[in-house]
Amino acid sequence: MPAAISIITTTMKTTTITDRTPLLNLLAWLSPAFPVGGFAYSHGLEWAVEAGDVRDGPSLREWVSDLLRSGSGRTDAVLLRAAHRACGNAGRLAEVAEIGTATVVARERRDEMLNQGRAFVLAMAAWGGLDVPEDSPYAVAVGAACGYRRVPEDDAVLAFLQAFSANLISAAVRLVPLGQSVGLRVLAELEPTVIAIAEETRDATMDDLGGCAFRSDLASMRHETQYTRLFRS
């Protein structure tokens, strides 16, 4: 009689360990609670509200959408990507910071980007510090930090644009004023635009910098002499 044959099947299970630290870093750095002073700046929105350009949810959505597509939102996305790729290259990072600073046309906007950049670098001491040029625009400092800490570039851009939009909406909620539910609805409606700009800038270089959000630039200039002001820009 042939001997009985036993066949034992063993299932191999592979476990992949994913480092979640970069995600935690990104959530912390772009949280409204991170001490960069974003709550103090309206990016010219305060004048736009006084002038009647922004007066309700739809007009706010259009204003922020234009900034994302044709203004500082898109510019910051390009700068963040360039800084992310330049981390570890001091000369290239300094060049990105210098060009980024030159992209603004109003004094208050320049102060806004540089003051937030300095505050971000100072707060990064809790993570061991950040080696960037002394006067780095906010987007450049964030991009370099994400590069050093291995935060994926696309995730960093998406989170930065979302935080940028949320900060402007928060300012409008106080200025117009708008209800929180209206502000949240605008933020939700802007999600496709945030995703689109992140995708469109993936292959962008410094040669692609530029914008045409002229009304926003004028708003920033006129805010400097606005009679009643709650915000620094």
What is the model's pLDDT at position 33? 95
Range of the domain at 87: 40-223
**For range 221-228, the mean pLDDT:** 94
pLDDT (tens digit per residue) in 111-144: 999 999 999 999 999 999 999 998 999 999 999 9
Alpha-carbon gap, residue 43 to 61, rounded angstroms = 15
Q: What is the mean pLDDT of residues 186-196?
A: 98
- Whether 97 maps to a domain, the answer reads yes
Let me know if residue 23 belongs to a domain. no
Model confidence band, residue 18 (pLDDT cutoffs 50, 70, 90): confident
In this predicted structure, the answer to whether residue 13 has a pLDDT above a threshold of 70 is no
- The pLDDT, as a whole number, for residue 16 is 52
Does the structure show a pLDDT above 90 at 7? no
Residue 10 in this model has a pLDDT that exceeds 90? no
- The predicted structure's pLDDT at residue 200: 97
Domain-located, residue 31? no
- Count the Cβ atoms, other than its own, within 10 Å of residue 21: 11
Q: Is residue 26 part of a domain?
A: no
Q: How confident is the model at residue 25 (pLDDT cuts 50, 70, 90)?
A: very high
Q: What is the CATH number of the domain that holds 72?
A: 1.10.4190.10
Per-residue DSSP letters for 75-136? HHHHHHHHHHHHTT-HHHHHHHHHHHHTT--SHHHHHHHHHHHHHHHHHGGGGT-----SS-
- Residue 5 domain flag: no
What percent of the chain is predicted at pLDDT more than 90? Answer: 89
Give the count of domains, the chain.
1
Rounded to an integer, the average pLDDT of 176-201 is 98
